[in-house]
Amino acid sequence: AAPHPPPVYVDLAYLPGSWSARTVDEEFFRRVRSLCYVVSGDDHLKEGVLRPLLDALLAGKHHPPLDIQVTLIPTFDSLVMPPPYQETHERQQELGITVLGPPPTVAMQDETFPACKVEF
């Protein structure tokens, strides 16, 4: 068997949140190592995407283990996230993974919008 190529390390990786999310599996997270993974999604498919992505991230970060803090940032509110987050919370802590909850809001002038600050 041919050896796997070394992983690619990036600061920020943008993950699809619709039908394309099926291509993001455990092997993806083994090959693409990022400090922050942003999960997109603004349609009805996003609800079914979060759990498989979280499971793939947990498995991919475990093999081989990576000793850096990783943040998963959904760009949308989800009613599905709390149960998977709670069910895997202990494992997330062991592996150094932080999942941001519903995005905080920022109010500017007459407008309020979700926001997240990421520093490197």
pLDDT in tens, 15-41: 876 667 778 898 898 889 999 888 876
* pLDDT for position 10: 92
Q: Which of 97, 99, 69 is nearest to 83 (CA)?
A: 99
Query: Which strands, in side-by-side order, build the sheet including 97-99?
Result: 8-15, 32-39, 70-74, 97-99
pLDDT tens digits for range 85-116:
677 778 888 888 888 766 666 777 888 776 76
Instruction: Give which of 57, 61, 59, 99 is closest to 82, Cα–Cα.
Output: 99
Domain ranges of the chain: 8-114
- How far apart are alpha carbons 119 and 42 in whole angstroms? 25
